[in-house]
């Protein structure tokens, strides 16, 4: 399968973002003719306050971003893993941060709603409180396209290996992670974590990021890392985007998945440790 990642610089302006997405998607179809396009987290709306995010959330199915992705998939006969959109929840104040997948007919085949909320204070003192606007999801998503089994995650999920262990239990060949990783954490952790997930779960790992600056909730400037990339099951980075908006394309080879799993048959070696007792070396010691 030929896979293309779209790297954007989304703003708190849906019309601007959708024009940017359409331009980049049309360009990659013309140049590379991929089988699947992936968009980053928050491709329809990025930045602003929690109240602005809630107000910008759209219905699903329906809504401008949803309809645009659906129509593009059907027109170009292509799979689209639509990064994440702001999804309105009927009867609730908070919203979902949701990835939506469309097949080449334009039919929605699944949604994944982000589970791990990015509530931290960054090293530069900026605070991120995703849970003020976003309600966590409660389901995982695995779907099949072009003979591949594909698992879904979003951004901060990257740090929580148990999510990927659950996806790996369904024998996924490829994991897709749209993201908007901060510059500070991204420059030290992004590639390391992506490669680690590919190696430990012996699957391709495609991480599609936002890049550049956007306004934060206090009108302050925030910056995201970009560097969208694809790792193969051996942990090699086989495609990488440069700084700036644009796209990158590579082939996902199921034979490479098979080769790696035969070389190191981790699935047959994996032990369920949930029932194993955990003992400290010094049982009498008081541990904090």
> With DSSP H G I counted as helix, E B as strand and the rest as coil, what are the percentages for the chain, rounded to 5?
30, 30, 40
**Does pLDDT of 147 surpass 90?**
yes
**Does pLDDT of 288 surpass 60?**
no
State how far Cα 108 lies from the chain centre: 17
* Catalytically annotated residue among 53, 87, 114, 231: 114
Mean per-residue pLDDT over the chain, rounded? 95
The backbone torsions φ and ψ at residue 277, rounded to the nearest 5 degrees and listed phi first, read -70, 145
Residue 287's pLDDT band (boundaries 50, 70, 90)?
A: low
State how far Cα 191 lies from the chain centre: 14
Tens digit of pLDDT for each residue in 152-178?
Answer: 999 999 999 999 999 999 999 999 999
Active site residue 41: yes
* Catalytically annotated residue among 41, 130, 208, 250: 41
Active site residue 132: no
Tens digit of pLDDT for each residue in 53-86?
Answer: 999 999 999 999 999 999 999 999 999 999 999 9
Tens digit of pLDDT for each residue in 231-278?
Answer: 999 999 999 999 999 999 999 999 999 999 999 999 999 998 889 988
Q: Which pLDDT value is given to residue 284?
A: 61
Active site residue 155: yes
Residue 285's pLDDT band (boundaries 50, 70, 90)?
A: low
Pick the CATH number of 2-269 from 3.30.1360.10, 3.40.50.720, 3.60.110.10, 3.90.950.20: 3.60.110.10
**Does pLDDT of 181 surpass 60?**
yes
Q: Which pLDDT value is given to residue 140?
A: 98
| Radius of gyration of the chain from its Cα atoms, rounded to whole angstroms | 19
d(CA 114, CA 95): 11
Q: Which pLDDT value is given to residue 95?
A: 97
pTM score, two decimals? Answer: 0.96
Domain edges within the chain: 2-269
* Catalytically annotated residue among 53, 130, 155, 194: 155
The pLDDT of 37-63, averaged and rounded, is 94
Residue 103's pLDDT band (boundaries 50, 70, 90)?
A: very high
d(CA 165, CA 82): 23
Q: Which pLDDT value is given to residue 94?
A: 96
d(CA 153, CA 155): 7
């Amino acid at each position: 399968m030929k896979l293309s990642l779209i790297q954007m610089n989304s703003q708190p302006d849906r019309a601007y973002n959708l024009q940017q997405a359409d331009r980049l998607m049309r360009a990659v179809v013309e140049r590379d003719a991929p089988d699947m396009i992936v968009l980053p987290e928050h491709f329809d709306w990025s930045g602003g306050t929690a109240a602005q995010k809630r107000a910008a959330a759209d219905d699903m199915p329906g809504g401008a971003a949803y309809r645009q992705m659906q129509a593009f998939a059907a027109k170009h006969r292509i799979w689209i893993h639509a990064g994440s959109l702001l999804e309105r929840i009927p009867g609730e104040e908070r919203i979902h941060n949701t990835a939506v997948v469309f097949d080449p007919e334009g039919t929605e085949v699944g949604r994944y709603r982000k589970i791990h909320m990015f509530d931290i204070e960054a090293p530069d003192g900026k605070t991120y409180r995703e849970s003020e606007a976003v309600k966590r999801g409660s389901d995982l998503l695995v779907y099949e396209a072009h003979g591949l089994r594909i698992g879904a995650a979003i951004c901060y999920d990257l740090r929580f290996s148990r999510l990927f262990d659950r996806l790996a239990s369904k024998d996924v060949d490829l994991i897709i992670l749209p993201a908007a990783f901060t510059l500070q954490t991204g420059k030290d952790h992004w590639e390391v974590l992506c490669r680690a997930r590919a190696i430990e779960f012996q699957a391709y790992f495609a991480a599609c990021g936002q890049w550049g600056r956007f306004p934060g909730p206090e009108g302050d400037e925030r910056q995201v890392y970009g560097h969208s990339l694809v790792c193969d099951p051996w942990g090699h980075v086989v495609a990488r985007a440069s700084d700036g908006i644009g796209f990158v394309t590579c082939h996902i080879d199921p034979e490479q998945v098979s080769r790696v799993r035969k070389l190191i048959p981790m699935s047959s070696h994996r032990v369920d440790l949930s029932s194993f007792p955990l003992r400290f070396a010094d049982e009498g010691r008081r541990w904090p």
